[in-house]
Amino acid sequence: MGETRRRLAGVLAADVVGYSAMVGADEPGTLARVRALRVEVIEPLANTHHGRLFKTTGDGFFVEFASAVEALRCAIAIQDTLRAQAEGLCLRIGVHQGEVVPEGDDLLGDGVIVAARLEPLAEPGGVCISSRVREDAAGKIALEVDDLGEPALKNIAAKIHVFRVRLGTPQAVPSKPALALPDKPSIAVLPFANMSGDPEQEYFADGMVEEIITALSRIRWLFVIARNSTFTYKGQTLDLRQVGRDLGVRYLLEGSVRKVGGRVRIAVQLIEAETAIHLWADRFDGPLDEVFALQDQVAIKVAGVIEPALTTAETARSAKRPTSDLTAYDAFLRASPTCA
């Protein structure tokens, strides 16, 4: 179990309520119902929410998700589905986000253990979540919860803050109104995609974005969105027009990082958010021997190219914008080459 194999995952742990009593009364029928639950409810909803069923324990199910939010959405969908079935089985579900370690098709680690310990705290037909899941869901799922504090969890030394979700039909968070554009050119640098297939390169991609944000922030006439706002979009499929409206920016910079051997290729694109039109694109290659020097070099180059590109775009934008101020229009005509 090497450290490099660890990864962060959302884990859903579910258990059938009253399983032992049902098996004692009707073992073949109970096993058939649990099998049907897995095939007809658990696996289809896990697939819908981009999850993977990695373990069954007779009366229990464990599902892995790349996102804690998707794990919670799946848990709510499972309970809503079972609640609609008059004579269906009843589950308790726990959801946690933590480190997991692959072991064949199975997963081990604190992420799995904590999710399993949260499950018994849920009411029949209910869901319990850790504070990490609640924090990730903030702004994405409208939740009502009961605070259970930090109950003692079997064989878990760390304090885990636990919440019981009040179930019903989860309502989507109302869409935010578009932010007003600032009175000067504005840009957001979106998280770069890691195209290497190597999770270890995530740090390089994220560091590259931070360096570019820092370099662009030195351009005094440019309004640059902070990293904390743009990194909420990490790992998502984006509608660039909507991102521009949400962040209140006129331009977006997106890119990707691809590592091959000891070299890395960084591709970047400058986009007008309102139209999603690419204004400029380029790529940069370099060795990975000096990571920080390479990041600095690329950030300076990108900022140096973007500054004149944005100046050109803003000039063209201003020329197209009508004015009702006759004095300003007269000044524009006097400055035009044809009037010289």
Instruction: Write the pLDDT tens digit of every residue in 231-265.
Output: 878 777 778 888 888 888 889 999 888 887 788 88
- Which DSSP string do the residues of 274-316 spell out, in sequence order? TTTEEEEEEEEEEESSSHHHHHHHHHHHHHHHHHHHHHHHHHH
| pTM of the complete model beyond 0.75 | no
Instruction: Write the pLDDT tens digit of every residue in 179-224.
Output: 556 667 889 999 988 887 677 677 788 888 888 888 888 888 888 8
Give the pLDDT of residue 179: 56
Domain-wise residue ranges, the chain: 3-172, 186-320
Instruction: Write the pLDDT tens digit of every residue in 6-34.
Output: 889 999 999 999 888 888 888 889 999 99
**CB proximity list for 148: less than 8 A, separation 6 or greater:** 121, 128, 162, 163, 164
* pLDDT band per the 50, 70, 90 thresholds, residue 1: very low
| 171 pLDDT higher than 70 | no
What stretch of H or E contains 20? helix 19-25
In this prediction, what percent of the chain has a pLDDT beyond 90?
Answer: 34
Cβ(90)–Cβ(15) under 8 Å?
no
| 76 pLDDT higher than 60 | yes
**CB proximity list for 174: less than 8 A, separation 6 or greater:** none
Mean pLDDT calculated for residue range 41-68: 93
| 227 pLDDT higher than 90 | no
CA atoms within 13 A on the CB side of 49: 26
Q: For the domain with range 186-320, which CATH number is right: 3.40.50.300, 2.60.40.1930, 3.40.50.10610, 3.30.1380.10?
A: 3.40.50.10610
Instruction: Write the pLDDT tens digit of every residue in 31-44.
Output: 999 999 999 999 99
Give the pLDDT of residue 290: 75
Cβ(121)–Cβ(93) under 8 Å?
no
Q: What is the dihedral of CA 177, 139, 225, 227, to 10 degrees?
A: -170
The closest alpha carbon to 249, from 313, 320, 173, 321, belongs to: 313
Give the pLDDT of residue 246: 84
Give the pLDDT of residue 340: 46
Which stretches of the chain are assigned E, i.e. beta strand?
Answer: 7-16, 51-56, 60-65, 91-103, 106-108, 127-130, 141-142, 145-149, 162-165, 171-172, 186-189, 193-194, 223-224, 251-260, 263-272, 277-287
Comparing 174 with 114, which gets the higher pLDDT?
114
| Residue showing tokens 């509608």 | 239
Sign of CA dihedral 266, 272, 278, 279: negative
Sign of CA dihedral 44, 47, 53, 59: negative
The closest alpha carbon to 168, from 95, 93, 88, 83, belongs to: 83
Query: CATH fold of 3-172, please?
Result: Alpha-Beta Plaits (3.30.70)
Give the pLDDT of residue 321: 54
CA–CA separation, 71 and 133 (whole Å): 9
| Residue showing tokens 């986009």 | 271
Whole-number Cα distances in Å, 2 to 7, 84, 105, 106, 289:
11, 44, 16, 15, 24
Q: Report the 10 Å Cβ neighbour count for 239.
A: 11
Instruction: Write the pLDDT tens digit of every residue in 307-339.
Output: 787 777 667 665 555 555 556 555 655 665 554
